[in-house]
Amino acid sequence: MSQLGEWLENHQAILIDRATDALAQDETLKTQFAVTVGNFFGGLVDTVRSNDSMPLYSVLANWVEARSVPVIGELTSLVSVLATLKEVLWGVILEYCDAEDASRLIVQSDAIFTQSTTYLSSLENEALLHDMRVQLHAAQTRLNLLDKSKSNFIAVISHELRTPLTLVEGYIDMLASVSSDMQSQVMIEGIKGGTRRLRAIINDIIDLSLIELQIMEFHFQPVWLGQVVNAADRNVKKAFSERNVLVQIDGNSIPKEPTYGDPDRLLQAVENVLMNAVKYTPDGRDVVIQARELPGFTDVSIIDSGVGIAPENLPHIFDRFSSLGNASLHSSGRTKFKGGGPGLGLPIARGIIEAHGGNIWAESDGHDDVQCPGSAFHILIPMHISMPESPAWSKPNSTNAS
């Protein structure tokens, strides 16, 4: 190794010039790069002379820490720089040495470069992992701040929207109590209907926001699915009767044993799917609710005899604001046949069911206003034998069945 060390010292100036030319074309950058390249060959000489890798390793460590090693174009890996320096060294050796000496010097230097390449790769990988951890931590911090800001905004906007609406409803009730003529009562009832619809839309928007932020509260307790289905039927009966649509419930197919869930939220999900069914089912037809038991789950199916869903729309019906109704038919009535809507009910139902650890999807043979092939909405509800500690979306490895 003494021969390599002596040769490197004697040819260090030309090695620095050749390496600088190979790594940089700009004359201004060459001056900067010459210092870095000089440090490398100085470290290489010290390593060869002392038979100790640390002088050269210290140079490589400074490369990784500084991230300012000379390269052509953008730096992708410092290992490529090391390879260029080795190529320059070998070129100069072949130029200034006879075959026998060149072969010996190349073998000696190759052992050092091989070890240095392994060491540099290890340093780069560690630096990359460190940078990724720092960036991930910074991103998580920003995300947490953003989520907190969103949560605070939802709380404020909920108060700001609901409070004046409550005042309006209160004054309407006061006005109704002091007004006796029929014309005024008709107008008051119209205002009441509008405020009820407005409150429902506000509640849906807030619920969807809570679901997307995964901060909706759930109060898990024993739930009997039969009671949920029957309650949903009662709550939508008026809307169904207005359209002369009959709900048929196959009570025997619904399991008698309870599961654990939030009864109010499950009721909300089932109601939303039922209201969607009546909207796309022509007058005088039926909607069937039945269930089937699966290992660990109950599949509650809501099957309508309506216009059906086109294949291209099936993947999107649970997306927020993805109402499939004709915008020209939009109506403030929730049950008008094929009427447009804000497209909030099904996304909310999906969020509620997924928070319970279940899934929801739809099937249909296609869309046809005349033949009415209908649709089947499947609400897959897990049959928990113990109370969940938190919604399924807060569990890091949770997966939904389908």
List, for residues 32-83, the tens digit of each pLDDT value. Answer: 788 889 999 999 999 999 999 999 999 999 988 886 444 444 445 789 899 9
Please report the pLDDT score of residue 154 as a whole number.
Answer: 75
DSSP string, 48-63: HHHT-SHHHHHHHHHH
Q: Is residue 134 part of a domain?
A: yes
Task: Select the more confidently predicted residue: 397 or 58.
Answer: 58
Beta strand 297-304 with 286-294 is antiparallel
The last residue of a domain, from among 139, 174, 200: 139
Structural domain harbouring 185: 154-212
- The CATH number assigned to the domain holding 369 equals 3.30.565.10
255 and 338 inside one domain: yes
Q: How many domains are contained in the chain?
A: 3
Q: Is residue 360 part of a domain?
A: yes
Asked if 307 and 280 touch (Cβ cutoff 8 Å), the reply is yes
Q: Whole-model pTM?
A: 0.60
**Paired tokens of 390:** 């938190």
Alpha-carbon span 64 to 62, nearest angstrom: 5
Q: Is residue 147 part of a domain?
A: no
Please report the pLDDT score of residue 130 as a whole number.
Answer: 86
122 and 160 inside one domain: no
Read off the pLDDT of residues 206-254 as tens digits, 9 standing for 90 and up: 898 889 888 899 999 999 999 999 999 999 988 888 888 899 999 999 9
50 and 132 inside one domain: yes
Q: How far is CA 52 from CA 11, 49, 56, 57, 390, in A?
A: 21, 8, 8, 9, 58
Find the mean pLDDT for residues 86-106: 94
Please report the pLDDT score of residue 144 as a whole number.
Answer: 78
Return the percentage of the chain with pLDDT > 70, whole number.
Answer: 90
**Paired tokens of 246:** 């009959």
Question: How many Cβ atoms are within 10 Å of 388's Cβ, its own excluded?
Answer: 18
Q: Is residue 144 part of a domain?
A: no
Please report the pLDDT score of residue 330 as a whole number.
Answer: 44
